[in-house]
Amino acid sequence: MSEDCIFCQIVAGDIPGRTVYEDDTVLAFLDANPLSPGHTLVIPKDHHERLNNTPADVAGEVLSTLHELVPAVESAVDAPASTVAFNNGEVAGQEVPHVHGHIIPRFEDDGGRPIHALVNDRPDLSEDELDAIESDIVAEQA
């Protein structure tokens, strides 16, 4: 637990939340500042700032919960689709430094954009540059 983390305060019951799912590891609740009706956050109860430092079993539980909740959230608000995403780090737009996955119900003409629209200036990478990045990622896993 982090005393100054708003999500940890929700887990502890110090701040109210509209809980839609809870087990020993994961809590899911409606976003207080939703991007659409039904916007839901899924978090590990223990404090982990980024996916990078979240234990694999806990990350798996978060993803499993997202998998189970997506159809329930979509159905509850009659959404034909949803965007499911993580902002992993401040530069990526993570506003609360506690891992959280978003389920954002999507509707026709909602003004939302696809995930490929996040970046305006896409890099023009050569085949050699792509090969080098591939090799570096594989090497980092070793």
Catalytic residue annotation = 100
Interatomic CA distance for residues 132 and 122, integer angstroms: 18
* CB-based contacts of 43, cutoff 8 Å, min separation 6: 7, 11, 26, 27, 28, 62, 98, 99, 100, 101
- Strand order across the beta sheet in which 81-86 lies: 19-22, 26-30, 40-44, 101-106, 81-86
